[in-house]
Structure 1
């Protein structure tokens, strides 16, 4: 492959808008526009990677030169996975069919820390033994309806992301090294998705998706208040059954189990980083019974909160 053919076509357009140039497949944001970098790699006609880690003084809109027909590409969008930008944000990955992104307009937001992988659905299908695919993976790879799934990033995935973003590799092996890591990332995510058993799947529309995420974010911002499904469904203008069904489909867990996981993660953070007492943490997160708090904490973390705070 020639050097130019390994550069995603969006990068030259971005460099032009920012009055700069591409060097080694990297656009460095000029100080007059902000800071950070955008880099990209086209491994072959089937798979490509963008690493976006920047702050701009204002949003930009760029018309994508690579609009694929519906059903062509599957997107894996890793969020808050670049170590220096994680902070209190939740590292996660969105897995979306191309039917979820069809307008061809790329919003270059003022802040972005993502790693985007696009892979051809038919190429991905050719790598798998499709005779044993569960319905969820079958629907994803067939790529015929608008679907989106979110998974939290666990340590083995974060290790792969760290290698892609920051491991020094000489140019001779760079594309080969990154492609292997990218394909391993995708494989590991498919193995996780395979554990989900929800069927049937329901086609998503942008309006419902936006509402589900808005309510999810509000719920996680108020971890001291256990969610009431009927109230959240009413807020979403959905029936309780539809709300529960879409939430589980997107996040792979029931609403309350998802909430409880984040509640206990926050409890662990408060115990370790803020050095709060077990009672302070329990009451702050809405537990009225500290014995119950200790039991739930042990179920999720594997140790009692008092022992955890001392370890």
Structure 2
């Protein structure tokens, strides 16, 4: 198989066993009710599921593969089943479009929350280690375990509409996740240690989400919002030689500037200008790496009239001078 090909993994959102069966079908390997494992060559995938109680599962996942992987999660159509994905390490770009143009700029880590009604498309680059924790809980299990958090989820998903939220990963949660990955390798006490950290992780996560909801700082995106943002992103990635104007972009896409800025930040975890600048430097790096373009050609092609400004921005973002990227 061509290493440059992208592998597509179809998963019906829901229980962990759905993921294990799909991984087995595409990659091979072995799985049980609560574990999937494949270690072969440059592929190392290990998914553990830890059932806390009926309707409440915590999955601890790590994966690296020599090809890019696209995971398409079909909606489970169960508004009483909530899904939390916390990405600790790696890159994953959330998407719902059949056509996409990947860029390093704006790929998202952090916390992703949805109610299982939202079809998701995630892209994972080749040879990049992904470490994540997935929490799946039913409304009934939440009511028994943490009834004080019920109001928060009812606020987020009050009309049972397909909706998706993204927020940053607080430092205290990142530390707990690191413990869980460490304990995953333990030969003694692995299950209770991870369950204990997992319960603490979920408790602190819900506390953090509740605070964001109370402050009106957590905003969801609907399907139309996603489609608009993906078109906007594609437009940004196709006009590197131009200056961008938020007012003109907002007018073109029929929304206010404040909504454009808020929605873009929600999906890509960065501002429009920051995304655009990083994407330009990603493109500059790719062109320079080929050896087919000089620094002057790349700078001018990307809209810089002053090459010193181009070099300064490139070094600020990439950490090296553009000339250092050129092949010997």
Counterpart pick for 2:81 among 70, 73, 78: 73
Equivalent pairs, count: 248
**TM-score, normalised on structure 2?**
0.55
The alpha carbon displacement at 1:90 in A equals 5.7
- The residue correspondences of 1:155-194 to structure 2 (distance < 5 A) are 155-167=171-183, 170=186, 173-193=189-209, 194=211
For residues 233-271 of structure 1, give each alpha carbon's deviation from its aligned partner in whole angstroms, at most 9, with x where no partner exists. Answer: 245x23216834861893699958x959x99xxxxxxxx
- The residue correspondences of 1:1-311 to structure 2 (distance < 5 A) are 8-22=17-31, 25-31=35-41, 34-43=42-51, 44-48=53-57, 49-57=59-67, 59=69, 68-81=76-89, 91-101=109-119, 111=126, 113-115=130-132, 116-126=134-144, 127-129=146-148, 133=151, 137-140=153-156, 144-167=160-183, 170=186, 173-193=189-209, 194-196=211-213, 197-198=215-216, 204-205=222-223, 207-212=224-229, 215=232, 228-234=245-251, 237-240=253-256, 243-244=259-260, 247=263, 250=266, 284=312
C-alpha distance in 1, partners of 2:37/2:44?
9
Give the structure with the higher percent helix. Answer: 1
C-alpha distance in 1, partners of 2:244/2:147?
39
Moved more, 12-21 or 119-128: 12-21
The alpha carbon displacement at 1:200 in A equals 11
Give the structure with the higher percent strand. Answer: 2
C-alpha distance in 2, partners of 1:188/1:226?
42
The alpha carbon displacement at 1:41 in A equals 0.6
Shift of the 185–234 alpha-carbon distance from structure 1 to 2, 3 Å rule, reads farther
Shift of the 247–90 alpha-carbon distance from structure 1 to 2, 3 Å rule, reads closer
Moved more, 180-189 or 55-64: 55-64
The alpha carbon displacement at 1:93 in A equals 1.8
Give the gaps of 5 or more residues in structure 2.
1-14, 92-103, 279-307, 315-328
Q: What CA RMSD, in Å, does the superposition of the two structures yield over aligned residues?
A: 4.9
For residues 7-42 of structure 1, give each alpha carbon's deviation from its aligned partner in whole angstroms, at most 9, with x where no partner exists. Answer: 7343244235433324882412433xx512131214
Give the gaps of 5 or more residues in structure 1.
1-5, 264-279, 287-311
Secondary structure at 1:129's aligned position in 2?
Answer: helix
The alpha carbon displacement at 1:159 in A equals 0.8
User: Does the aligned pair in 2 maintain the 1:41–1:175 contact within 8 Å?
Assistant: no
User: Which structure would you say has the larger RCO, counting Cα contacts within 8 Å and 6 or more residues apart?
Assistant: 2
Secondary structure at 1:98's aligned position in 2?
Answer: coil
Secondary structure at 1:195's aligned position in 2?
Answer: helix
